[in-house]
């Protein structure tokens, strides 16, 4: 076969090599030329075209570095937006997919030395949400498109409106129940007075028709009094029975609310404490404010002392108990309401809280566990 045959194994191998990625140390970013081996790279560095490019770059090296850095950043973010959207993904996955294209900008030509430095820079500039985990750094693209922002605002508005509707419905139901209870008490009182009046009227008319006999009058009046007392005692027992049944129902509902707890308790704008030692002594036992809750069990926490933002699991955090008189956010049966801490019972690991928001505003609740409330920022 001839040396230039298209189907020779060497020609096929050369075409495969020319399409694939080569070693980074044999690539020249200024000339955008990939050499196959050390000898080829050495010959390229001695070539006249490479020397001209070096002379051109030596006049303003910062301009070329800024250009390559901007191209690398734009291509990386475009791939992250188009390929993963706003999902949270490991930075190595995005980088490996980015460098799989042969004509990409190499990182050694930019202002960042490592992928970790580039990831931290994305977080500081507000281009992405970044967080460090034991498995490495994760990035999440922030979509600043006006249309996407508008849709997000509409969703937030609709969610807030639904919550307001639910609160109004609960308040309306509570008002109806209260009016119904007041109406029942009025009806019972009215029946009592009416019965007494009718009984006394009947007695007087009856006594007037019986004649002037004193014995009969005394006997009839005594029997009427006994009947009235029996009626009043029966009605008072019935009223007491109804009241005790109502109290029992209210106690059952109260117990249901106390036991209606969920295994997730993270809420925005509450203060939490980091209890894991995996992040080092810098963050251990330090307090932060929950800025965002992701998938119910993960929170973006902004540290109070340093201002750093960390993405942590619920198992690595615990609630913070404030001093009496401070505001707290409730979980469990009173989830979503705010309250004021009145007192703490250290023996039962519980507290007494006065609810300040929602349809149960003003109610004083005892025996709320430490896990069911946390200090508000």
- Per-residue model confidence as pLDDT tens digits over 323-362: 888 888 887 777 778 889 888 888 888 889 888 887 778 8
Overall average pLDDT of the 305-328 stretch: 87
* Position with higher pLDDT, 365 vs 151: 365
| Residue 202 within a domain | no
366 and 268, same structural domain? Answer: no
User: Of the given ranges (108-117, 178-187, 250-259, 335-344), which has the lowest mean pLDDT?
Assistant: 250-259
Domain range holding 339? 321-376
Number of other CB atoms surrounding residue 317 within 10 Å: 21
Domain boundary among 141, 162, 177: 141
302 and 272, same structural domain? Answer: yes
Q: 360 to each of 169, 170, 257, 333, 354, how far by Cα in Å?
A: 13, 9, 12, 11, 10
Confidence check: pLDDT of 66 > 80: yes
* pLDDT at residue 45, rounded to an integer: 82
What's the whole-model pTM score?
0.35
328 and 367, same structural domain? Answer: yes
| Residue 296 within a domain | yes
362 and 273, same structural domain? Answer: no
136 and 52, same structural domain? Answer: yes
Q: Which CATH number belongs to the domain containing residue 356 in this structure?
A: 2.30.30.30
Tell me how far apart the alpha carbons of residues 219 and 349 are, in angstroms, rounded to a whole number.
Answer: 65
Q: Which CATH number belongs to the domain containing residue 300 in this structure?
A: 2.30.30.140
Residues with Cβ within 8 Å of residue 353, at least 6 apart in sequence: 328, 330, 339, 340, 341, 342, 364, 365, 368, 373
Tell me how far apart the alpha carbons of residues 106 and 136 are, in angstroms, rounded to a whole number.
Answer: 21
H or E element, residue 345: strand 338-345
Number of other CB atoms surrounding residue 109 within 10 Å: 17
63 and 118, same structural domain? Answer: yes
Number of other CB atoms surrounding residue 142 within 10 Å: 14
Number of separate domains in the chain = 3
Task: Count CA within 13 A, CB hemisphere, residue 367.
Answer: 6
Query: What digits encode the pLDDT tens for the residues 50-65?
Result: 777 777 777 777 777 8
294 and 335, same structural domain? Answer: no
């Amino acid at each position: 076969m001839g040396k230039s045959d298209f189907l020779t194994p060497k020609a096929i191998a050369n075409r495969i090599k020319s399409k694939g990625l080569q070693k980074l140390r044999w690539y020249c970013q200024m000339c955008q030329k990939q050499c196959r081996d050390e000898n080829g790279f050495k010959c390229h560095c001695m070539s006249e075209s490479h020397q001209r490019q070096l002379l051109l770059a030596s006049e303003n090296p910062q301009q070329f570095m800024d250009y390559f850095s901007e191209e690398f950043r734009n291509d990386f973010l475009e791939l992250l937006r188009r390929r993963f959207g706003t999902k949270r993904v490991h930075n190595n996955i995005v980088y490996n997919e980015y460098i799989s294209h042969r004509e990409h900008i190499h990182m050694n030509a930019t202002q960042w030395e490592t992928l970790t430095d580039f990831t931290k820079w994305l977080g500081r500039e507000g281009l992405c949400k970044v967080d460090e985990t034991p498995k490495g750094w994760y990035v999440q693209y922030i979509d600043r498109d006006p249309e996407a922002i508008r849709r997000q605002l509409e969703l937030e508005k609709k969610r807030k409106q639904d919550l307001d509707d639910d609160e109004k419905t609960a308040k309306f139901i509570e008002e109806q129940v209260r009016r119904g209870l007041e109406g029942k008490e009025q009806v019972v009182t009215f029946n009592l007075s009416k019965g007494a009046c009718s009984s006394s009227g009947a007695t007087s008319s009856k006594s007037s028709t019986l004649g002037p006999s004193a014995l009969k009058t005394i006997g009839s009046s005594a029997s009427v009094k006994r009947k009235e007392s029996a009626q009043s005692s029966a009605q008072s027992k019935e009223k007491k029975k109804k009241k005790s049944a109502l109290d029992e129902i209210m106690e059952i509902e109260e117990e249901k609310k106390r036991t209606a707890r969920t295994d997730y308790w993270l809420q925005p704008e509450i203060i939490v404490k980091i209890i894991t030692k995996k992040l080092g002594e810098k963050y251990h036992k330090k307090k932060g404010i929950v800025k965002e809750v992701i998938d119910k069990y993960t929170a973006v926490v902004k540290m109070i002392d340093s201002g750093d933002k960390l993405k942590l699991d619920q198992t690595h955090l615990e609630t913070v108990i404030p001093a009496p008189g401070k505001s707290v956010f409730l979980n469990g049966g009173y989830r979503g309401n705010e309250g004021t801490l009145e007192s703490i019972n250290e023996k039962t690991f519980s507290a007494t809280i006065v609810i300040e928001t929602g349809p149960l505003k003003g109610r004083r609740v005892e025996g709320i566990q430490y896990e069911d409330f946390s200090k508000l920022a």
